[in-house]
């Protein structure tokens, strides 16, 4: 096996106040409160993406938006524009701690919006726990749990008899609406006290491999619902995008249809919409072949990408019966978990991995994009 240089793991996620440099400029991540944008905010973001970036907007697996192509010179004006839209935190530290994913399937009758707001306040309070940059929370308190596979460390979720506090375990703690956020913060402090943070990094899943949750976590969690697909829901219309990316004008057009809820599946839910939108670049069918592929920005847009990823993924999509993840390096940012099929770019070509992450053990190495596009059956030669 040919040794491949290890990718640089930043240990933090970009924000608006602390952007991350990439191959096409600064990546500026916007974290809408409770994952919802009113139409004026969405239109404003689209305008700012064109004015101060390259017009490309990504949806992240943490239910955030990312503006691409921002420069050092354009960044201050962008922040001023986002602040006017009420999308900027008091400082970069508050922004970094406010890692919250809220279920898009909330209603006015459930506690999702209340809990997400209270949790945001607690995480940005002066005495908030100093958590690692990637540590996150999920508020999954709709009719049924939908965020079990989200990139989170602590969940507040619907249980059989009320609210539950949970983490990476089948057992949870029953909590009351008035105490739920306090219990979530207490669990975050427990994570720190138990040695979950090393050199500013750490996730709950890693800690729980060594130390179990406290003994009072005894309630059984409900089974999660399957990951949703584009189509109609009780709250509105779910739509998707190739590789979770859109042009600024697409976001502006969607804003004309209603308020938007962000999801960790790189889809948007358009509130109260019943008809599929006829907008270029918007995926409305659950069987669209492009939903079978996941790909990061890749080279040259990412400084760590060893090859272009999306042209290959786009070409292979119609040939697939399983999900394919094409990653520009072994970090696997677009899909950190295992996938049925993975192609990881290396300095010597693509490595083919099955039922594992982008850093898993390859079955084949040194595959070129031309080889794969000419003979997609390569991906089915191994069980």
Q: What is the pLDDT of residues 166-179, one digit of tens each?
A: 999 999 999 999 99
Whether residue 153 is predicted with pLDDT greater than 50 in this model: the reply is yes
User: Smallest Cα–Cα separation from 293: which of 280, 312, 279?
Assistant: 312
For residues 188-204, give the mean pLDDT: 97
Whether residue 9 is predicted with pLDDT greater than 60 in this model: the reply is no
pLDDT tens readout for residues 333-360:
889 889 999 999 999 999 999 999 999 9
Q: How confident is the model at residue 8 (pLDDT cuts 50, 70, 90)?
A: low
- Please list, in sequence order, all residues whose beta carbon lies within 8 angstroms of the beta carbon of residue 262, skipping any fewer than 6 positions away: 32, 35, 36, 37, 59, 63, 64, 65, 104, 268
pTM (two decimals): 0.92
- Please list, in sequence order, all residues whose beta carbon lies within 8 angstroms of the beta carbon of residue 287, skipping any fewer than 6 positions away: none
User: Smallest Cα–Cα separation from 162: which of 172, 144, 176?
Assistant: 176
pLDDT tens readout for residues 48-102:
999 999 999 999 999 999 999 999 999 999 999 999 999 999 999 999 999 999 9
For residues 225-234, give the mean pLDDT: 95
User: Smallest Cα–Cα separation from 281: which of 316, 247, 233, 319?
Assistant: 247
d(CA 197, CA 186): 15
Place of tokens 């609406």: 177
* DSSP line for 1-47: ----PPPP--SS---SSS-EEETTEEEEEE--GGGEE-HHHHHHHHH
Give the pLDDT confidence score for residue 6 in this predicted structure.
55
pLDDT tens readout for residues 247-293:
999 999 999 999 999 999 999 999 999 999 999 999 999 999 999 99
Give the pLDDT confidence score for residue 179 in this predicted structure.
97
Percent of the chain topping pLDDT 70: 97
Give the pLDDT confidence score for residue 333 in this predicted structure.
87
Whether residue 10 is predicted with pLDDT greater than 70 in this model: the reply is no
377 neighbors 34 (Cβ within 8 angstroms): no
Q: How confident is the model at residue 5 (pLDDT cuts 50, 70, 90)?
A: low
């Amino acid at each position: 096996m040919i040794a491949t240089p290890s990718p640089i793991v930043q240990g933090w996620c970009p924000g608006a106040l602390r952007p991350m440099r990439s191959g096409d400029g600064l990546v500026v991540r916007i974290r809408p409160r409770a994952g919802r944008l009113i139409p004026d905010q969405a239109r404003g973001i689209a305008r700012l993406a064109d004015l101060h970036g390259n017009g490309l907007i990504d949806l992240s697996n943490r239910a955030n938006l990312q503006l691409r192509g921002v420069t050092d010179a354009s960044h201050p004006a962008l922040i001023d524009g986002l602040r006017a839209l009420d999308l900027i935190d008091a400082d970069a530290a508050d922004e970094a701690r406010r890692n919250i994913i809220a279920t898009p399937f909330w209603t006015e009758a459930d506690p999702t919006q209340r809990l997400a707001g209270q949790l945001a306040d607690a995480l940005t309070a002066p005495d908030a726990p100093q958590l690692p940059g990637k540590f996150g929370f999920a508020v999954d308190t709709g009719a049924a749990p939908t965020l079990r596979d989200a990139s989170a460390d602590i969940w507040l979720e619907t249980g059989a008899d009320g609210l539950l506090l949970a983490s990476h375990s089948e057992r949870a703690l029953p909590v009351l609406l008035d105490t739920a956020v306090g219990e979530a913060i207490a669990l975050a402090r427990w994570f720190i006290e138990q040695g979950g943070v090393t050199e500013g990094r750490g996730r709950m899943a890693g800690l729980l491999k060594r130390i179990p949750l406290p003994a009072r976590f005894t309630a059984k969690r409900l089974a999660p619902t399957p990951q949703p697909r584009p189509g109609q829901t009780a709250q509105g219309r779910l739509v998707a995008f190739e590789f979770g990316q859109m042009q600024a004008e697409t976001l502006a057009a969607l804003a004309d249809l209603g308020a938007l809820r962000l999801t960790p599946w790189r889809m948007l839910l358009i509130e109260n919409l019943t008809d599929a939108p006829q907008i270029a670049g918007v995926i409305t069918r659950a069987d669209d072949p492009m939903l079978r592929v996941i790909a990061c920005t890749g080279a040259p847009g990412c400084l760590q990408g060893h090859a272009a990823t999306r042209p290959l993924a786009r070409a292979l999509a119609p040939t697939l019966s399983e999900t394919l993840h094409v990653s520009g390096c072994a970090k696997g940012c677009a899909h950190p978990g295992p996938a049925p099929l993975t192609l990881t770019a290396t300095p010597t070509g693509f490595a083919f991995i099955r039922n594992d992450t982008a850093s898993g053990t390859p079955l084949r190495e040194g595959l070129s994009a031309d080889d794969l596009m000419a003979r997609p059956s390569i991906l089915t030669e191994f069980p």
